[in-house]
Chain A
Amino acid sequence: MNAPAQPPAAPPWTPRIVAFFCNWCTYTAADLAGVSRLKYAPNVRVIRLMCSGRVDPQFILEALRRGADGVLIGGCHPGDCHYVEGNYKMLRRFGLLQRMLADLGIPPARVRLEWISAAEGERVKAVINDMTRQLQALGPLDLPGKFADWDAEIADLAATLQTESAKEPEATHTWEPPKVLVQPQ
């Protein structure tokens, strides 16, 4: 089927990654990567939080729901948290969330937790490039699209049920007292 006016060719798909970086280590490391003029893939969009402990699992789910193909969380190395132990709190939540995501069919590579200290600009570059490459291979997650598909499926199913129930009379169940099999002595 030929469209009358060819729209400009859409650019090839690349993943969209939302990152939550802690102010003290990973955000600073990303700044260092910039100051050092390291070059990395433009697929990551960073949200600055004070601590990785502030990352509510709902933020991650929200990002996926809104169409992110992956979520990256960056915090200070264990033992180095600016707030003593916020990163450990994140680590625990992350473990639980990964199990839940696996049950939902979202592969673990899509949500990644990395410890990157303020001195590790190189690591920011390496992690972002690596994650972009992995997600490129995995392809789009497209939860919004899936939601639409599922909604359509449900609507379709509801419509089918409606038409079928119109054809057949509604099944009825009447209660009968159970037959007594063994007489009490």
Chain B
Amino acid sequence: MVSLKPEIRIGFYVCHCGHNIASMVDCADVAAYVGQLPGVVLARDYKYMCSDPGQELIQKDIAEFGLNRVVVASCSPLLHEHTFRAAVAAGGLNPFLFHMVNIREHASWVHTDRAAATAKAKVLARAAIRRAALARELPQRQIPINPGVLVVGGGIAGIHAALTLAEAGKHVWLIEREASIGGHMAKFDKTFPTLDCAACILTPKMSAVGAHPNITLWSHSDVVQVDGYVGNYTVKVRRRPRYVNEELCTGCQECIGNCIYKEPKFPDEFNEGLGKRKPIHIPFPQATPQVVLIDPQVCLNFKRGVLTDRCKKTCVEACGDRKAIDFTQKEETKEIQVGAIIVATGFKPFDVRRVPQYGYGTYPNVYTALEVERLVNASGPTAGEIVLRDGRRPSAIAIIHCVGSRDKKTNRWCSRVCCMYSMKLAHLLKEHSGAELYNFYIDIRAPGKGYEEFYDKLNEEGVHFIRGRVGEVTDWAMIPEEEGKLVIRVEDTLAGVVRRIPVDMVVLATGLEPHADAQAVRRLFNMSCGTEGFFLERHPKLAPVSTFTDGVYIAGCCQGPRDIPDTVAQAGAAAAEALALIDRGHILQEPNTAHVLADCSGCKSCLPLCPYTAIGFDEATHQAVINEALCKGCGTCVAACPSGSIGQHLFEDDEVFSEIEGLLTADPEPTPALAATP
């Protein structure tokens, strides 16, 4: 039999990965086994294939032994495929003549029987060798990258990322759901452990965002649709009406003073409902953008959100010539083009109604931590005075840690910040009210610069720390001293006794949770979530701000609970990753696209299957045509073609069939002499 094909010369390398693979897989045995397979010219085992010497070994062998295929058995291709492709390319081979076998994540790390793991490694390697023989040279296409960046979420993470990118000269669209940027940090009074005023350090950054020529800030807006791929995303943003023209409003707030409602009447979201606002309002004094908005649900000129024109419109009179108020404003959808996306959508505080034993909503003097942040704030509803909902001033305050954290009944994770912010609130409450402070904790977690010292300082200040998870908060008095008080029932696990401690005010240190719509947001950007619902990073250690979708990065608490320093660091990292991507100017596209073969019969079965409408139909040739720029390489049409007339680069039918055959051929293999090439 005469074959016109060039001789297949495969080089095979099995990596020890230190002990990671070698401890459970006999690497030398795998190399010896693969070495006698047809087409294999050399088989080596080496300590670290991904190291520079490992890569150089491949390059040297390509030149010396005339290799035209390379197979490496090591870790997951998701981790090091690009490393070895680059090494193979540097050795002068087309990078797609390389194939990778995963014997670490899929063998050595998950099995306990060395013989079985070695046998599995051999089988996986054998399949890869068969597949590699069929590998084709493929060109790599370059796609230009749009230099714009979309940042979703205007909390401290989004603000920091947007400013970093804008400073680097990139145009940034910052989209915020609320009327003002600032996020949760804007609501905080002080920040631990330095007790910096949160507003003092945040508002300069907010103003910088508002004033930066490279930042387009769209607040009161949502991302509704994301299309495209890395470097070329098309994003649709819905701009909800605020009934005030952003360009014309100067932020003078005369309209608010002249509203037909003489007194603020409606719960103020920014103050967690503790304060009141008018229908026309600005979220908080330092809001960015400095533009008022009208709440159509309560404004007299609307009825349940529908314009009625029945108010005297004193606000419009007050606005006068500026003519900023526009009751006819409609929702708008805008489309923008960006190359990269940073998702920094933050967190939602745990809903404390899920732990009814702590009495939130039943007893008025039980507060969430975020409410207390507003209560101690000088610009808060009580101007910083600790006045309870029933008008009293507390003489004893309990702070219950781990509410909605470290609890199998609610959320299992540690929210990381609650210990520290509880101590900060304890310090502030003591400072503002002079009350006795009791912290009820499971463990004090103070891992950070200056955090443990802050804990020491609190101990010196005379704040009480009682170790134990609180059983319940009750107003049922057993002794006269408990009358009119809230009683904390807790097992003091250090003293070994059950205690009852009467207090006037209870603060629940709520944990951090993913947003209620995190799943919808995740789907919008094609990301993954962990089991708890926080967005999943590409690699927990080495790609902490990347996602599985190229060009989409995550920062801040949407990825998991973290404090402000970590959030800012992560936002900077996400901005740097985005910058590294768009500054390259182009990306190399994975050539795993589908292509129509000459024998297409024109049945059109594939046309409706493609979610990207990449398949067209050429009436002249009566055949399907695939637009490779639109094809994302899922291969659904390939599998569906009834005549097998669509192929997929890197995943051709014959390649998969040969891999199946390689996996299942009985051991031992036929002698190499049978298949030796002439």
Residue numbers of A with Cβ under 8 A of B are: 16, 18, 23-25, 27-28, 30-31, 33-35, 37-40, 42, 45-51, 53-59, 62-63, 66-68, 79-80, 82-86, 89, 93, 117-120, 125
Contact = CB atoms under 8 A, between A and B. Distances in A.
Given A45-B123, A80-B523, 12 more contacts: A35-B109, A46-B106, A49-B635, A49-B656, A50-B635, A54-B639, A55-B639, A62-B660, A83-B634, A89-B609, A89-B640, A118-B548
Contacts of B528: 24-25, 28, 80, 117-119
A78 B268 CA distance: 39
A105 B633 CA distance: 35
Closest 7 CB pairs of A and B: A34-B105, A54-B635, A53-B636, A83-B634, A84-B611, A51-B634, A66-B664
B67 to A, nearest CB: 23
A48 B77 contact: yes
Nearest to A38: B110
A109 to B, nearest CB: 19
A45 B104 contact: no
Contact of B110 (A18, A40, A67): A40
A48 B76 CA distance: 11
Which of B124, B632, B636 has the most chain A CB atoms inside 10 A of its CB? B636
Which of B116, B530, B639, B651 has the most chain A CB atoms inside 10 A of its CB? B639
Given A50-B592, A54-B638, A56-B638, A63 B109 contact: no
B341 to A, nearest CB: 16
A42 B111 contact: yes
A73 to B, nearest CB: 11
A114 B651 CA distance: 21
A66 B661 contact: yes
Interface string B119-132: 11001100100000
28 contacts: A18-B660, A24-B528, A28-B78, A28-B528, A28-B548, A31-B102, A31-B105, A34-B105, A34-B106, A39-B110, A45-B127, A49-B656, A50-B651, A51-B636, A53-B636, A54-B639, A56-B656, A59-B657, A63-B660, A68-B660, A68-B664, A82-B548, A83-B632, A83-B636, A84-B611, A89-B609, A93-B639, A118-B528
A119 B529 contact: yes
Nearest to B638: A54
Nearest to B663: A45
Which of B76, B124, B528, B648 has the most chain A CB atoms inside 10 A of its CB? B528
Nearest to A55: B639
B436 interface: no
B651 A54 contact: yes
B659 interface: yes
Contact of B78 (A27, A40, A46, A51): A27
B578 interface: no
Contacts of A30: 105-106
A66 B123 CA distance: 14
Which of B540, B548, B635 has the most chain A CB atoms inside 10 A of its CB? B635
A57 B640 CA distance: 9
Nearest to B115: A11
B634 A50 contact: yes
B107 interface: yes
A66 B640 contact: no
A86 B636 contact: yes
Interface of B: 76-79, 102, 104-107, 109-113, 116-117, 119-120, 123-124, 127, 523, 526, 528-531, 536, 540, 548-549, 592, 609, 611, 632-636, 638-640, 648, 651, 653, 656-657, 659-661, 663-666
Contacts of B104: 34
A54 B109 contact: no
A141 to B, nearest CB: 11
Contact of A18 (B540, B609, B663, B665): B663
Contacts of B123: 45
A84 B614 CA distance: 14
Contacts of B111: 39-40, 42
A119 B531 CA distance: 6
Contacts of B549: 82
A56 B664 contact: no
Contacts of B531: 119-120
Contacts of B109: 34-35, 37
Given A54-B648, A56-B638, A56-B653, A82 B110 contact: no
Contacts of B657: 59, 62
A50 B81 CA distance: 14
Nearest to B636: A53
A18 B660 CA distance: 8
A117 B523 CA distance: 13
Contacts of A35: 105, 109, 540
A63 B659 CA distance: 10
A119 B660 contact: no
Contacts of B636: 51, 53-54, 83, 86, 89
A115 to B, nearest CB: 13
Which of B113, B117, B657 has the most chain A CB atoms inside 10 A of its CB? B657
Contacts of A83: 611, 632, 634, 636
Contact of B548 (A24, A42, A125): A24
A101 to B, nearest CB: 17
B660 A66 contact: yes
Nearest to B522: A80
B73 to A, nearest CB: 13
A4 B331 CA distance: 89
A85 B124 contact: no
Which of B117, B611, B661 has the most chain A CB atoms inside 10 A of its CB? B611
A31 B117 contact: no
A45 to B, nearest CB: 5
Contacts of A82: 526, 548-549, 634
Which of B530, B549, B656 has the most chain A CB atoms inside 10 A of its CB? B656
A45 B120 contact: yes
A24 B638 CA distance: 18
Nearest to B121: A42
B644 to A, nearest CB: 8
Contacts of B638: 54, 56
A47 B549 CA distance: 21
Contacts of A89: 609, 636, 639-640
A24 to B, nearest CB: 6
B85 to A, nearest CB: 15
Nearest to A59: B656
A83 B13 CA distance: 33
A63 B661 CA distance: 7
A47 B661 CA distance: 11
A178 to B, nearest CB: 45
Contacts of A31: 76, 78-79, 102, 105-106
Contacts of B127: 45, 47
Given A34-B106, A66-B661, A83-B611, A119 B76 contact: no
A82 B522 CA distance: 11
Contacts of B651: 49-50, 54
A119 B110 contact: no
A27 B81 CA distance: 14
Contacts of A18: 660, 663-664
Given A27-B78, A47-B656, A33 B105 contact: yes
Contacts of A50: 592, 633-635, 648, 651
Nearest to A62: B660
